[in-house]
Amino acid sequence: ELKVEQNPLFLSMQEGKNYTIYCNYSTTSDRLYWYRQDPGKSLESLFVLLSNGAVKQEGRLMASLDTKARLSTLHITAAVHDLSATYFCAVAAYDQGAQKLVFGQGTRLTINP
């Protein structure tokens, strides 16, 4: 059974600093997703990583995937308050030929002025 673990689960950081969120998964998969959730809101898709070595960047966020290590990272550069949210990684799992997502626990990120 596919397990997905994120760390840290809680992260409080100052504006302007850099930090990385890690997502480890237990079995082989060919795609990984990052989502953002603001308090009381739905999940918003950030990145889709489809192959080993894939790197995607949007503003101050950059996501990468190492399928051999079963690891994805979400790197935050020069954090700003607007990035405060909970970030989830989700890994594709295949069941009876159909794809479903297994989510990590989420990382609650708080960025302080």
Partner 1 sequence: DAGVIQSPRHEVTEMGQEVTLRCKPISGHDYLFWYRQTMMRGLELLIYFNNNVPIDDSGMPEDRFSAKMPNASFSTLKIQPSEPRDSAVYFCASRLTRARNNEQFFGPGTRLTVL
Confirm if 55 and 43 have CB atoms less than 8 A apart: no
Q: Which of 13, 48, 71, 80 binds partner 1 (CB under 8 A)?
A: 48
Binding segment (CB under 8 A) for partner 1, from list 57-65, 68-76, 77-85, 86-94: 86-94
**Which of 13, 22, 32 is CA-nearest to residue 83?**
13
* Rounded-to-integer distance, Cα 15 and Cα 11, Å: 12
Which residue lies nearer to partner 1 by CB, 46 or 79?
46
* Rounded-to-integer distance, Cα 65 and Cα 30, Å: 10
* Rounded-to-integer distance, Cα 98 and Cα 94, Å: 5
Q: Which of 39, 51, 96, 113 binds partner 1 (CB under 8 A)?
A: 96
* Nearest-approach distance from CB 12 to partner 1, in angstroms: 18
Pairing state between β 19-25 and 32-37: unpaired
Binding segment (CB under 8 A) for partner 1, from list 12-20, 21-29, 51-59, 89-97: 89-97
Give yes or no for residue 105 binding partner 1 (CB under 8 A). yes
Q: Which of 3, 17, 81, 100 binds partner 1 (CB under 8 A)?
A: 100
CB count in 10 Å sphere of residue 107:
21
Q: Which residues bind partner 1 (CB under 8 A)?
A: 31, 33, 35, 41-45, 48, 50, 88, 90, 92, 95-96, 98-103, 105-106
